[in-house]
Amino acid sequence: MAKEIERKYLVKGSDWKKLAQGRFYCQGYIATVGKQTVRIRIVGEQGYLTLKGESVGQTRSEFEYPIPLADAREMLDTLCDRPLIEKIRYKIPQGNIIWEIDEFLGENAGLIIAEVELTDENQEIELPEWIDRQVTDPKYYNANLAKHPYSKWT
């Protein structure tokens, strides 16, 4: 079974942008049942179907499969809740980990989150100077941002 162990952080400043090229992502959620999600994503010219289980601590099951681009587009257009999640993702290697920084667009513009996937929930990592504070909380999951966009937070 595939497992995802990640931590999320808010990002400060813009120095991190010099460290990587960004790539546009568009994704939507077909179903969010309890704390399980079904996601459709397009990155470049590739579509993906992803299923995620309920989080236990910082760990949850995750299964991701490539799907034809045309299918992904149709699913985003006809099956996914609105708003879609649009973002620019930057990948910054640091030691033996890769930071993924998401600069959100659309209804989530203004939110910048860095996440890092770990091999163990207790894994210690060195935080770059552009990390503000940890926000490993379901509130910051993309599935929740689709339901409760950052622009509507008080």
- For 114-148, how does the pLDDT look when each residue is reduced to its tens digit (9 = 90+)? 999 998 888 999 999 999 999 988 899 898 899 99
Rounded average pLDDT over 11-35 = 90
Q: Does residue 150 have an active-site annotation?
A: no
If one counts the domains in the chain, the total is 1
Q: What is the mean pLDDT of residues 15-38?
A: 89
Question: What region does 38 belong to: left with phi over 0, alpha with psi -120 to 50, or beta?
Answer: beta
CATH number, domain containing residue 101: 2.40.320.10
Which structural domain range is residue 131 located in?
Answer: 3-152
pLDDT at 1 over 70: no
- Nearest CA-CA partner of 125 in 90, 93, 103: 93
Which residue among 9, 25, 29, 90 is the active-site one? 29
Tell me what the pLDDT averaged over the chain comes to. Answer: 92
Distance of CA 114 to the CA centre of its chain: 9
